[in-house]
Amino acid sequence: MMQPVTRLSGVSFTRNGTHILSDISFTAHAGEHWALLGPNGAGKSTILGFCGARTHPTSGTVEILGQRLGRVDMQQLRRAIGPSTPGIQFALHCRSLRSADRTHRNDRAAMRWSASAAETRRAHELIDQVGLAARQDALWPTLSQGERGRALIARALIADPRLLLLDEPTTGLDVAAREQLLETIDDLAVTAPDVATVLVTHHLEELPVSTTHALVIAHGAIVAAGTADEVVTSGTISRAFAHPIRVGRDDGRWSARTVRRQSTSDAAVAASA
């Protein structure tokens, strides 16, 4: 059986006397694409911290890439995990993408590093893969927010990670930039089929079509976990957000709308129909 990429078992977490998570369990395997859903303050970012080998649980166990937190060098483990946040500002060309990855890894030789021909080709491939070939010489400050999001995915993939974490990657993007970024994420199912992803959001419209599984939490506890089709439903989302929500799906993309309460006049019309 394929080894899990991420496994949380009975995880609880307390910070400064405040209980944040209770009995969280889920397992992600290679090639699965998980959505982590829930209202603000539910504990999503804390779970992502476990997945990124940056936070230890108060109780329970966390295994990332077969290594249990507390029994492994966290810094070394993080080298196999693709972050989606910028560690430094960098120029978007081959050497800078690779150098940025080396710097993220705290490699002291990063500034003396020189790309091989194969590494240069790989960087060019990734830049083209995320749709930024025309911007390959652009400096970080000149990129739009959407371009930065795609550049960060390329930066993460250049290290050949087995796990890619995406923390609300479409926040602040306009509609076109959001769709371009989601297309880039969807393409990973083909271009990097063995990479597992965990994407955090509280907007169903921001879920990629390629989402295979979902973990829905509220108040630090699991509401539901499993395949996306089974979990991302009107009932589950309504319970998690404590509000009547109708979940729809069209052409592989989800949507969420408040269930409209029937007015007295509407009820009269419906009754007479």
CATH number where 222 lies: 3.40.50.300
How many CA atoms does the CB half-sphere of 216 hold within 13 Å?
22
Q: 57 and 177: one domain?
A: yes
Q: 111 and 140: one domain?
A: yes
Q: Would you call 143 helix, strand, or coil by DSSP? A: coil
Domain of 100, in residue numbers? 88-159
Q: 236 and 193: one domain?
A: yes
- Residue 250: strand pairing partners: 253
Q: 63 and 170: one domain?
A: yes
Q: 26 and 135: one domain?
A: no
Q: 31 and 141: one domain?
A: no
Q: 139 and 168: one domain?
A: no
Q: Which of 144, 159, 174 is the last residue of a domain?
A: 159
- Predicted confidence at residue 262, as pLDDT, reads 58
CA nearest to 188, candidates 108, 256, 130, 258:
130
Q: Which of 109, 124, 159 is the last residue of a domain?
A: 159
Q: 122 and 173: one domain?
A: no
Q: Which of 104, 139, 159 is the last residue of a domain?
A: 159
Q: Letter for the amino acid at 206? A: E
- Convert the pLDDT of each residue in 90-118 to its tens digit: 444 444 444 444 444 444 444 455 667 77
Overall number of domains in the chain? 2
Q: 127 and 175: one domain?
A: no
Q: 129 and 48: one domain?
A: no
Tens of pLDDT along the chain (273 residues) come to 567 899 999 999 999 889 999 999 999 999 999 999 999 989 999 999 999 888 899 999 999 999 999 888 888 888 788 865 544 344 444 444 444 444 444 444 444 556 677 777 777 777 777 778 777 777 777 877 778 878 888 877 777 788 999 988 888 888 988 898 899 889 989 988 999 999 999 899 999 999 999 999 999 999 999 999 999 999 999 999 999 999 999 999 999 999 876 544 544 444 444
147 by Cβ neighbours in 10 Å (0-12 / 13-18 / 19+) ranks as buried
Helix H or strand E encompassing 211: none
